[in-house]
Structure 1
Amino acid sequence: MLRTTITMLLSLICGIYAHSAEPSRVQETLTVNEVPELRGYLGERWEANRRGSLHQFDIDRYTKLVEQRTHREWWWAGEQDGKWLESAVLSSANSDPALRAQAKAILDRLIDSQEPSGYLGITPQDIRTAQQPLRGMDPYEDYFRLHALITAYEQWGDEQALTAARRFGDYLLGHIGPGKAEFWPSDLRPPANEKRTLEGFTKIAGHAVHYSWEGTLLIDPMLRLALATGDERYSEWSKWVVGNIDTWSGWDSYSRLDQVASGELGVHELQPYVHSHTFHMNFLGFLRLYEITGDESYLRKVAGAWDDIAARQMYITGSVSVGEHYESGKLRPLTGHVVETCATMSWLQVTQYLLELTGDVKYADAMEKLLWNHVFASQAIDGDCYRYHTPPNGVKPEGFFHGPDCCTSSGHRLVSLLPTFLYGKDDQGLFINQYAASTVEAQLPGDRTIRVRQETNYPESPQIDLTVESAPDSSLAIRLRNPSWCQTPSITLNGKSLSNVTPGSYLTIERVWLSGDVIQASFPMELRWVQSDATWKTVIRTLPGGEIMHDPVPDATGPWALIRGPVVYAADTLWWSNPEVPAPHRVGDDLAFVLHDTSPQQVDTPAGLIGPSYKVPAITSRGQHVDVLLVPFTNIGHWYRDDQRKPDKHAAAWSYAVWLPSHESPEFQERLKLRQQQEQQLASAFDYVRIGNHESETLHQVQGGETGQFRDRSYRHGVDFSYTMKMPTERSAKLIVTYWGSDCGREFDVLANDQVLDTTRLNNSRPGEFFEVAYPLSQELIAGKTNTFGQKEDNITIRFRSRTQQVAGGVFGIRIE
């Protein structure tokens, strides 16, 4: 009842701000209280998040950062308390009193630590001044802390939380504004800052390459505060902030969003670096301004940017970001640092907000694709961590276990918000936006409640049963989304078929509902191959601040993927079961689909996975024909099998791939030739290491460094790394190492048993090609040495050690002949 009252108050406030304009929302968000049950696959992932992430997280450590307030470094560390608190408030709404009690205790500690000035963060008072009232990354941290306070108020009715949020909002009003501090990304002022490329850090606006947007993102929680309190000062401040983005950025990047909306620009052209997550957080603020003011220019800018991103930069799995930013054209690399979890979270929120403001089914369809693919692909199976990046083709469990950092906490916040993504409501009734086993109890105006139970194994099965468990004795509407991808949807009410069930629309059923009424929906899913239209092959470069950028390699043949309805499939070597053919090292590189042989054959899905699963014909880069198992991409968080020993959490023990080449593609044919050459070389070698192969590197006692992928090859590089290898006991030998000729600025010693064989310098000496260097190995390295059994010692340690404390390597191949 408390939450209903607050919702009605927010609607009233919105109407006041809009000066009696038409309501700007088509749908209202449901709270987690209104979705009391999640079951099936989504329920399992929700529970894993609660148990594995929220209960296990050391929130006391990060709360002390706020209480002690001694963090003087520019770098961010203060987002964890806000994200955890909001996640815990949401995840304990309908169960878990222990988590709720812990969240309440953390909330009280944060409130008690708030300064008399209203500041609530981790930055000490003595380094905050009138000119610099926040530390460099304060805005990003404060964004989540403010949201957490408002969520605690809305969920619990905690007035102290709202008061703390207001006091911090007043701190921002008192210190940032006309004649006060502003969100300048550098010391340059107009006109000197116009069209200038920046690097480094800012005083109060985050990274300079974000061009003020990492400070202005505070408009989102400030506008939510305006809606919660009815205080127009917060919305007026936010309008002032938005009105200055063009000036601060030096690129007119806010105004030029209109050119993006009209198709004249891509979103990546707004400024030299467009950080996905940062822009999304600002977009949420622009949409709140539209909701408050009714000014459609805010909506037009965000909807136009969304259309551009969805058309060019959205991956087949529904998520976004190349590195952490947006790129030109359809440049979407398959591997490496792509699809950031923070960007996944905020992209889903922006998409939901656009759905609620416009009612356009395309946004619900995009949410569906993201929910059933990338959201849980980023989550480790036990819910205890989230990937920073989740590329369509990659390795695991390497990449899952790190942090705590921005993406681990965005992961648990995203999953905690899950119940709010499934349904919508308005004065007339309920919207079924997503299909998942759950129960909804929507609170409607006039003290009316409708409770509906959704039973389904969707998307494993296309069938959905919706049973009305209780409803008021007045007419209400239930609207069901008919996905755009389904050409033959069907819906029945109490066994009677309904008409006008049109793909890409909502079917409205309006009536006086009775307990026991049943709606049955069926959305048949077509299994089909799709070929990528993206520029997927790239060369990586980095900006001075470390931001990863991609330069396209043209004319690469598009790889293929299998989809079924909204579900995207992946090959995953964790489930490789062919005893005759070893699992490929990098399945996306070393395996190709044979597309014209047969249709995919449905097979049993491994236990614990969501299905269905299929086997398809393929060929390895060694020319071996195999049937490969494809499972839904959402399952890649499984990083161990119950019937096998767990690998090291940081090992590249398994590989997976959404996209595989056709066996007829020029790239794969070249791969076959290259593999044949490599196998011939290795066959004549005395010993060799398969770089990046967990089994081979472990056998050779690898120490130090890290692996990566480049040009379809694996490499190892680092400040200091080594292997233990065997050499002949009766003759001298050669150590042969493969390097990339375009690497530059690298100087390192190559050692054998601590003897320097050579100092190698890589300085772009063989641009665009791999090359080999042979280092003589003297028999004196092992002469006269025996092991504990009196046998001649044939092991030597091959070491690569940087002379500049930078990078040695990368080493793409290593063998002894």
Structure 2
Amino acid sequence: MKYFLITTLLVSQALFSQNKLKPLIQDKLSPAASVDINAYIGEKLHASYNNRILAQDAHRLVQPFTQHDEHSCWQSEFWGKWFTSAVLAYNYHPTPQLIDKLKNTAQELMATQTPEGYIGNYAPESRLKAWDIWGRKYVMLGLISYYDISNDKKALNAAAKEADFLIKELNDKNALIVKMGNHRGMAASSVLEPICQLYTRTGNKKYLDFAEEIVRQWETPDGPQLISKASVPVGKRFPKPTENWYGWDQGQKAYEMMSCYEGLLELYRITGKETYKKAAEQTWQSIADTEINIAGSGAAMEAWFSGKEIQHVPIAHFQETCVTVTWIKFNQQLLRLTGESKYADAIEWAYYNALLGAMRLDGSDWAKYTPLSGQRLQGSEQCGMGLNCCNASGPRGLFTIPLTTVMTSDEGLNVNFYIDGDYQATTPKKNTIIVKQDTDYPASGKIDISLEMKKAENMTLALRIPSWNEKSTVLVNNQPIENVESGDYLKINRNWKNGDKISIEFEMEGKLHSIGQHPVNVAITRGPVVLTRDERLLGPGLEAVITPVKNKNGSITLTPKKSNNPDIWMIFIAQFLPEAYTEYGAEPVEVELCDYASAGNTMTTYPFFKVWMPQLVDPRN
């Protein structure tokens, strides 16, 4: 079955024609014009499209906006999260069924707008408090995204009226946005992102002024200080709350913090102020260095906590899916802005592990938390809405991949990810090119790429060589390319023509990772995939202490095994030494490992699984 991103380029082009203002800073990478994704990822997109996006009762998500009696909950976020997911899905696979659903629910939501401009569910005496502004942010993001695909100015006007009323309320009440709501104002002030989008689409300077005022307030003593504390590790910027973990004092809230930086990057595009970009980049580096675990995500109890160094121990409410999705979206912002491969590396790692691991096999549900050992359990319903924040957010991360697999630049094309499918793009000279990928990556490291183009053109094709890769070969028309370096793009400039072929092969060696002391724990990765023990697979019980048999170079041999279980994507057999008390130890035993996304992931039961394996403490060491 084919899926096409035929509207994405049109949307991108329409934004420049619809926008009153062209951003001062242009992205280095832009999405392909159409996409046809096959195989495993195509199946996941298909499942989510049908069983989560289309299956959602959108009417129920609008219902809270018809009543203004809320004081503390966050029902108003669900419509915008689901709607922006659905717009991404529509950009990927535009169908009459989905556009009708989007149109109907957008109109239903706009019909709840009060004469003063409010779209929300909070009682008048509680407005601006708790999650009210956060909910308004998602209303605006949803309405703006609908305007972008439909050119319906009623949606843009409704979003503008929502923003106008927010600005008026803050002014009339002499209220600081950073003192409103939770998490040192990060939840409320993350409204920066749609405010910047409104400025570029309307040209109304009051939105730019409001955006700059939000950032000014960040740096006050009451604010989250997202610029001045950018060099401080994200888990240590403020003292931990002693009373209400989810209250205003919580300055480490992961999801809300990254949402603010997404808005700051939008403001950077508008203003060109390098301090904004630098703050986002420094924070990204801090998150990567101190928080992101082996599955590509992080945070516990929804907050940063310097968790990378203790990821091997049991951790409460670990790795919220909303955090995973926002980490992917934050990286996507930086990737298209800078074109740097490290952001694509981070997206790939999070996507194949933490994100796909959180998604139910049929795409109908998402786990709220995904530990590195234990079980994948369903999240609780929130706010009486029939779903929780992560059910609504999961597809927002899933449907980023069609937008970023193959992208265009001023120099040519960037192949960021290796996913079986066809990718149509426009070259620097405005010629049409189709990049066809034939691969089962990351099950193997072999990728064959062929080009279809009516006119030959001299341009640069940039192939991402992942940072985890240590040995690879790249051939163009069977001729080897020299100086292939990991952790960067291999830029091949030549006169590309119809029928040109590129062959890539990454060495998919089993790598061992160690962490902790007394005991040391080990984990295994293969390419960008974390391998995991699962109680459904062959081997001793998960509680057994087993030691991987190393090769001379420190790697572990992994033998692929065809999976007879439709719930499991990849299975590998490896040799381990079991704990023994004989004089010369025991003989190696075979142990099966599966990909992290499949571990413990079923439609009925909740099998236990384990990523980090504790090792025996040896007093001689």
* Shorter-chain TM-score tier: 0.7 to 0.9
SS of equivalent residue, structure 2 residue 475: strand
Structure 2: how far apart are the matches of 1:494 and 1:277?
A: 45
Structure 2: how far apart are the matches of 1:413 and 1:436?
A: 19
Partner deviation per Cα, 1:74-128 (whole Å, 9 max, x = no partner): 111111111122222221332443222212211121122222222222235xx15
Q: Decide which of 595, 608, 611 is 2:548's aligned counterpart.
A: 595
Structure 2: how far apart are the matches of 1:11 and 1:509?
A: 34
- Compared CA separation, residues 11 and 630, structure 1 to 2 (3 A): farther
Q: Decide which of 278, 283, 297 is 2:256's aligned counterpart.
A: 278
- Compared CA separation, residues 515 and 445, structure 1 to 2 (3 A): closer
Structure 2: how far apart are the matches of 1:269 and 1:478?
A: 41
- Taking the TM superposition and a 5 Å limit, the aligned residue runs for 1:42-441 are 42-66=41-65, 68-93=66-91, 94-124=93-123, 127=124, 133-177=127-171, 180-185=174-179, 205-207=180-182, 210-247=183-220, 249=222, 253-258=225-230, 260=231, 265-272=232-239, 273=250, 274-328=252-306, 330-332=309-311, 333-396=313-376, 398-399=377-378, 402=381, 404-441=387-424
SS of equivalent residue, structure 1 residue 104: helix
Find runs of 4+ consecutive structure 1 residues off by over 6 angstroms: 620-625
Structure 2: how far apart are the matches of 1:600 and 1:619?
A: 17
- Answer yes or no: is the 8 Å Cα contact 2:19–2:201 preserved in 1: no
Q: Decide which of 662, 671, 676 is 2:615's aligned counterpart.
A: 662
1:463 maps to 446
AA of the residue aligned to 1:3? V
AA of the residue aligned to 1:492? L
Partner deviation per Cα, 1:447-492 (whole Å, 9 max, x = no partner): 5433222221011111112222335554333211111222222222
SS of equivalent residue, structure 2 residue 597: helix
- Taking the TM superposition and a 5 Å limit, the aligned residue runs for 1:637-652 are 638-640=601-603, 646-647=604-605
Q: Decide which of 454, 466, 486 is 1:483's aligned counterpart.
A: 466
User: Per-residue deviation at 1:342?
Assistant: 0.6
SS of equivalent residue, structure 2 residue 545: strand
AA of the residue aligned to 2:532? A
- Compared CA separation, residues 513 and 161, structure 1 to 2 (3 A): farther
Structure 2: how far apart are the matches of 1:212 and 1:107?
A: 28
- Answer yes or no: is the 8 Å Cα contact 2:570–2:595 preserved in 1: yes
AA of the residue aligned to 1:299? K
Partner deviation per Cα, 1:12-54 (whole Å, 9 max, x = no partner): 9344xx3xxxx453223x27xx343221111111111112212
Structure 2: how far apart are the matches of 1:394 and 1:238?
A: 43
Gaps of 5+ in 2: 1-8, 240-249
Partner deviation per Cα, 1:580-627 (whole Å, 9 max, x = no partner): x6xx4xx3xx13222347854414142333325223326489999863
Partner deviation per Cα, 1:663-718 (whole Å, 9 max, x = no partner): 4468xxxxxxxxxxxxxxxxxxxxxxxxxxxxxxxxxxxxxxxxxxxxxxxxxxxx
Structure 2: how far apart are the matches of 1:604 and 1:511?
A: 40
Structure 1: how far apart are the matches of 2:519 and 2:453?
A: 55
User: Per-residue deviation at 1:299?
Assistant: 1.2
- Answer yes or no: is the 8 Å Cα contact 2:20–2:203 preserved in 1: no
Q: Which of 1 and 2 has greater Rg? A: 1
Say yes or no: does 1:27 pair with 2:29: yes
- Answer yes or no: is the 8 Å Cα contact 1:612–1:632 preserved in 2: yes
Structure 2: how far apart are the matches of 1:334 and 1:249?
A: 34
Structure 1: how far apart are the matches of 2:550 and 2:461?
A: 45
Structure 2: how far apart are the matches of 1:138 and 1:654?
A: 39
Structure 2: how far apart are the matches of 1:311 and 1:526?
A: 24
Structure 2: how far apart are the matches of 1:514 and 1:374?
A: 39
Structure 2: how far apart are the matches of 1:171 and 1:147?
A: 16
- Compared CA separation, residues 471 and 145, structure 1 to 2 (3 A): farther
- Answer yes or no: is the 8 Å Cα contact 2:600–2:608 preserved in 1: no
1:779 maps to none
AA of the residue aligned to 2:50? R
AA of the residue aligned to 1:70? H
User: Per-residue deviation at 1:312?
Assistant: 1.4
1:727 maps to none
Give the TM-score normalised by the residue count of structure 2: 0.87
Structure 2: how far apart are the matches of 1:498 and 1:591?
A: 46
- Answer yes or no: is the 8 Å Cα contact 1:605–1:612 preserved in 2: yes
- Taking the TM superposition and a 5 Å limit, the aligned residue runs for 1:698-777 are none
Aligned identity (percent) is: 26
Say yes or no: does 1:559 pair with 2:521: yes
Say yes or no: does 1:504 pair with 2:466: no
Structure 2: how far apart are the matches of 1:558 and 1:322?
A: 22
1:611 maps to 570
Structure 2: how far apart are the matches of 1:231 and 1:431?
A: 35
User: Per-residue deviation at 1:4?
Assistant: 4.7
SS of equivalent residue, structure 2 residue 435: strand
Structure 2: how far apart are the matches of 1:440 and 1:279?
A: 34
Say yes or no: does 1:452 pair with 2:452: no
- Compared CA separation, residues 452 and 660, structure 1 to 2 (3 A): same
- Compared CA separation, residues 470 and 119, structure 1 to 2 (3 A): farther
- Compared CA separation, residues 469 and 72, structure 1 to 2 (3 A): same
User: Per-residue deviation at 1:11?
Assistant: 8.9
For these two proteins, the number of residue pairs brought into alignment is 583
AA of the residue aligned to 1:145? V
User: Per-residue deviation at 1:303?
Assistant: 1.0
Give the TM-score normalised by the residue count of structure 1: 0.67
SS of equivalent residue, structure 2 residue 525: strand
Structure 1: how far apart are the matches of 2:195 and 2:456?
A: 40
AA of the residue aligned to 1:6? A
- Answer yes or no: is the 8 Å Cα contact 2:178–2:186 preserved in 1: no
- Answer yes or no: is the 8 Å Cα contact 2:27–2:338 preserved in 1: yes
- Answer yes or no: is the 8 Å Cα contact 1:619–1:626 preserved in 2: yes
User: Per-residue deviation at 1:321?
Assistant: 0.9
- Answer yes or no: is the 8 Å Cα contact 1:149–1:161 preserved in 2: yes
- Compared CA separation, residues 613 and 228, structure 1 to 2 (3 A): farther
Structure 2: how far apart are the matches of 1:511 and 1:155?
A: 36
SS of equivalent residue, structure 2 residue 497: coil
- Compared CA separation, residues 601 and 344, structure 1 to 2 (3 A): closer
2:243 maps to none
- Compared CA separation, residues 460 and 12, structure 1 to 2 (3 A): farther
Structure 1: how far apart are the matches of 2:155 and 2:427?
A: 26
SS of equivalent residue, structure 1 residue 387: coil
- Answer yes or no: is the 8 Å Cα contact 1:317–1:568 preserved in 2: yes
- Compared CA separation, residues 630 and 11, structure 1 to 2 (3 A): farther
User: Per-residue deviation at 1:211?
Assistant: 1.2
1:632 maps to 595
Partner deviation per Cα, 1:381-415 (whole Å, 9 max, x = no partner): 1111111110111214x336755111111112222
User: Per-residue deviation at 1:351?
Assistant: 1.4
User: Per-residue deviation at 1:661?
Assistant: 0.9
- Compared CA separation, residues 529 and 597, structure 1 to 2 (3 A): closer
